[in-house]
Amino acid sequence: MKTLDRYILRTYVVSLGGAIVVFSISAVVLDFFGRLGRFAQNDVITQGTTAEGMSRLEIFVVFYLSYLPFMLKLLIPFIALGSAAFVVAAHLKANEVVAAKAAGISARRLWLPVLMGGLSLSAGLLLFQEYVVPSLNREHHNVRRLFEGTKADVVRRLPHFRDGHGSVMVAGAYSFSERTLYNAVVFWPWEEDGFEAWIAPELRASGNSWVAPRGVRVSPQAPGGRPAGAERPIRDLPPGTEVPFSVGTFEIEALISKRGTAELSLGQLNHLRHKFPDRRSLQVAYHKEISHPFSAFALTLVGAGFFLAVRGSFYAKAVVVLLLGGVYFFFEIFCTSLGARGDLPPVLAAYLPLSVFLSLGAARWWTLPT
């Protein structure tokens, strides 16, 4: 790597680090003021400490340390856009671009380290969202319960869950912290048109299965809607009985969480989309998990290329670049919505914004005056 490449790359890394700090602080401040009312009125922590021995300040710090990765996962592509534009602007202002061109270095070659930095950022974001974000999911849910109050821990409006093998579960509530379903009924098929209803006051996650700590009542229904009678009588199973239902906690939490699938890894999403092939939102989410990291490279390409190409003052260039970032953001939301509704194929909904902006950035880059 040449000295000039190292110089430009160092400028890019410094601007990227500064942008991450600034965007992180801004996101935390805005999010906190949005939650301030619930935080101040939270009965769990109004006395200054919680049952877990955490002060309000500790809850605030732990909550945002566990929540910040989820925000950064969404913000990194736009941070990359701003960093690329800032690096180009800094070197243009210092008249270093003119000196480089006088030395026979083309504009595309000069900004190649910025593009390599954007590509490396995309690879890093792919690893970050695959390993770091999912590992913080459980910790974030636990501290969120303290931050917003105990009601945030229990979800009471649940959909019906299907395990892909014919079984259906209906439950009254789910607790994130205890990983427990309450007032659950599992309808387990047997023979043709017959089923057994496994009724449990509680179902607690145990590895990849569910255990009834207070026992289960099994109520059979014979084929054709007839009572099972002596063929399969109603029976009570003891506490600790394992219930035959193959939907894990991460699957249930993904289907009922406020953040949806944002906290899941690519492997978990792949598992879900094959298990629930009729849920188009899972198909879109899986492909977006692949396309999203590369949007950092696409926006780096757009940011650097258009900042060089647009005529006018520094502020005019900055406005154009920021508008392009906003267009990408809303275009991505629009395509995701169409994909989840079935108006666009899931693959097209996930990759169309990336493809359009990659093409736009590449076209602008290769037409730069040298």
292 in the same domain as 176: no
| In-domain check, residue 261 | no
| Nearest CA-CA partner of 60 in 100, 93, 32 | 32
What's the whole-number average pLDDT of the chain? 80
What does the pLDDT read at residue 225?
54
Hey, what long-range contacts does 278-281 have (CB within 8 A, 24 or more apart)?
A: 280/339, 280/340, 280/341, 280/342, 280/346, 281/339, 281/340
CB distance 364 to 300 below 8 Å: no
- Provide the pLDDT confidence category of residue 226 given band limits of 50, 70 and 90: low
What does the pLDDT read at residue 50?
46
131 in the same domain as 29: yes
| In-domain check, residue 270 | no
Most confident of 64-73, 107-116, 231-240, 291-300: 291-300
Which of 256, 291, 306 is at the close of a domain? 256
22 in the same domain as 82: yes
| In-domain check, residue 231 | yes
User: Which of the pair, 46 or 93, is modelled with greater confidence?
Assistant: 93
What does the pLDDT read at residue 351?
94
100 in the same domain as 218: no
For residue 170, the SS3 value is strand
62 in the same domain as 124: yes
Which of 222, 256, 290 is at the close of a domain? 256
For residue 207, the SS3 value is coil
246 in the same domain as 355: no
What does the pLDDT read at residue 334?
93
| In-domain check, residue 164 | yes
158 in the same domain as 131: no
Is pLDDT at 312 greater than 80 in this prediction?
no
Domain count, the chain: 2
Lowest mean pLDDT among 134-148, 182-196, 244-258, 278-292: 134-148
Is pLDDT at 259 greater than 60 in this prediction?
no
What does the pLDDT read at residue 122?
92
| In-domain check, residue 359 | yes
Q: Which two tokens stand for residue 201?
A: 């006051």
| In-domain check, residue 362 | yes
Which of 200, 222, 256 is at the close of a domain? 256
Average pLDDT of the segment spanning 234-262? 77
Above pLDDT 90, what percent of the chain? 16
CB distance 322 to 328 below 8 Å: no
- Provide the pLDDT confidence category of residue 270 given band limits of 50, 70 and 90: confident
What does the pLDDT read at residue 353?
93
Average pLDDT of the segment spanning 124-150? 74
| In-domain check, residue 268 | no
237 in the same domain as 160: yes
| In-domain check, residue 344 | yes
313 in the same domain as 242: no
Element (H, E) at 47: none
Task: Output the DSSP codes for 88-117.
Answer: HHHHHHTTHHHHHHHTT--HHHHTHHHHHH
89 in the same domain as 29: yes
* Residues spanned by the domain of 344: 3-136+281-366
Strand residue runs (E) in the chain: 154-155, 161-162, 168-170, 173-175, 180-190, 194-206, 209-212, 216-221, 235-237, 241-243
293 in the same domain as 252: no
